[in-house]
Structure 1
Amino acid sequence: MRIILIIAALSSTLFLAACPVGAQTIIDPEAPPAGPAQPEADVDTPPIDDVPLIADDSKERLDELFAELRRTPDPRRARTVANSIWSQWHRSGSASIDLMMNWSNKALQDRKYAMALDFLDQVVMRAPDFAEGWNRRATLHFTMNNYAKSMNDIQKALELEPRHFGALSGLATILEQTGNEQAALEAWQRTLEVYPAMQAAQEAVIRLTDELAGAPT
């Protein structure tokens, strides 16, 4: 709950910290590879289908994987478990949503940001309960330096999946880059509660703790 309050308190101020679109962009190094489907300029948006998003057995599998992630101290093994969690998150349960996610990722890799955003806007409109759709759009907004919009989408992703370590680490990164070190530290600590072996989070907690300890009061 505190993480959500942090986002709500800060997202409205981030427009002042964000750089305009067209400035140097940041590409997510952990973005999943695009699927075989690729968008065409005149492609029609696929129809809405009736397949329910996120089956119960998928939720049970996620619970098992998160339990394993929390008790896995070895970073290499933990990454394997985390990748399995990502695989579950990417399964929307809808063929058309999965297709648009693949198209958006291909457009993002090709730096066709407007096209990627169009697809992801469709994803979150058609599947508002699909957390990874919001997280993917948050990543795109971050890449475009639209930090406030990224924060808003992170908030939605975390409301749907509070354990989303990708969204949590993205939140921590934005907070740190915009000078909110204490809030960034709390977000990284929350990330470690979910994913204790994440080395980037461990290093960030140590660094920020040291920086804040040395900061003048």
Structure 2
Amino acid sequence: MGIGHRILNLIVTAVYLVVAFSLPLAAENSDRAMEMLEELPEAEPKEARRLAREIEHEWSKTGSAAMDLLLKRGREALEAGDSRQAIEHLTALTDHAPEFAEGWHLRAIAFANVALYGPALDDLGRALTLNPHNFNAMYSLGSVLEQVGHDDLALEAFERSAAIHPQSEDVTKALDRVAREIGGADL
């Protein structure tokens, strides 16, 4: 497959991911997570950070001790900078728990860390289909799109992340950076 086809595939996948964001919320989000998501946009910065951590905690519940172990090992490998090992653990997780969105999100990060952007975008598509309110996965989508030079699509992903979690400092910085890059107004 030539470079032109790969770029086209990345663009098509990116567009799909942005559209997937508007799909109905998956069952993975508990009632408590949904309540916190509703509070998040209006929360003061300190409260927003607390809510975001609690939401992330809810999204990290696999419901299985074995899957929890795979998630833990995948996260530890990512934190240690061993993305290849993380991919192995997180692949096992996504194979055995395909409806667990956070597994797909974390594996996407690992893929992006080793410049496997196509698989990263595919996994982000799956994560956002399962949990379209995952502001971290939407931020990750923007980051990958920015890395592959699609700043316009990255800006849209960052804007969608900011709509859910407007207090995120990472998203705010990304919005400013990408808007300047594409010649947009300061946000």
The TM-score bracket by the shorter chain reads 0.7 to 0.9
Higher helix share: 2
Counterpart AA for 1:161: N
**Separation in 1, partners of 2:92, 2:161:** 29
**Separation in 1, partners of 2:94, 2:78:** 17
Task: Give 1:104 shift.
Answer: 1.9
Is residue 162 from structure 1 mapped to residue 165 from structure 2 by the alignment? no
- With over 3 angstroms needed to count, the CA separation of the structure-2 counterparts of 1:185 and 1:107, relative to structure 1, is closer
Three-state SS of the structure 1 residue aligned to 2:106 is helix
Contact 2:36 2:55 in 1 (8 A): yes
State the match for 2:87 in structure 1: 117
Task: Give 1:212 shift.
Answer: 2.7
State the match for 1:136 in structure 2: 106
Contact 1:55 1:93 in 2 (8 A): no
Three-state SS of the structure 1 residue aligned to 2:183 is helix
Deviations 1:100-159 (A, max 9, x none): 111222233344443322221111011110000101111111122211111110000000
The 5 Å alignment of 1:181-200 reads 181-200=151-170
Q: Structure 1: give runs of 5+ residues left out of the alignment.
A: 1-5, 12-53
TM-score (norm 2): 0.79
Instruction: Select the residue among 147, 150, 153 that pairs with 1:180.
Output: 150
Three-state SS of the structure 2 residue aligned to 1:179 is coil
Identity of aligned residues (%): 32
Task: Give 1:209 shift.
Answer: 2.9
State the match for 1:71 in structure 2: 42
How many positions carry a matched residue from both structures?
165
RMSD: 2.3
Mean CA deviation greater in 103-112 or 84-93: 103-112
